[in-house]
Amino acid sequence: MNDWQIWFVTGIEHILDLNGYDHMMFVCLLVFAYPINDWKKLLLLITAFTVGHSLTLALSVTDVIKLPQQYTEFLIILTIIFTAIYLLFASKNTAKGGRVIYLIICCFGLIHGLGFSYLLKAMLGNNESIFVPLLMFNIGLEVGQIVVVIFVVIVLLLIGKYAKTIERPFKTGIISIILVAALILCYSRILNIFHQ
């Protein structure tokens, strides 16, 4: 396997690894933001997230931005909590929320990019050439993210086809579960910060 293939596969695995559940929860929330038939807005939302995390991934790997990992992990959980609350309470239909949701998700992507960078930085070591590893790792992240999106979309399409009446309660239930899990993780990560 070539070096670029290793970085690409590592990026995919980093998203799909069960240890990356916080990123998967966030991507799942993004899919729930719009009805599946409003796929253009959904695509724009996911693109906003991609732009945000790609930017800080590059800035963090090149040491332009530095933030201790425990603070980044705490902030990532906060993005999940805020997004879940927004989807549950701020707007029953995100389309009514206007364009501000794209800016918010882009900003949240900035935080997630820091989280993605720790593994890449650890693997790079003293490697002087970072362009190819950074590019391929980021492309791998995007492919992994697309896999999560496709899985959630397929589940929603199946529910919409065979059990249309439970689609909204299903979404609300999953968002609520993610919110509760994120609140528990938030408490755990706050304790982690204070025990450093």
121-150 per-position pLDDT tens digit: 888 876 667 888 888 989 999 999 999 999
State pTM to two decimals. 0.88
Q: Which residue has the higher pLDDT, 74 or 196?
A: 74
H or E element in which residue 33 lies? none
pLDDT the model gives residue 98: 60
Q: Count how many residues are written for the chain.
A: 196
* 69-88: pLDDT as tens digits: 999 999 999 999 999 999 99
Residue 105 C-alpha from the chain's centroid: 9
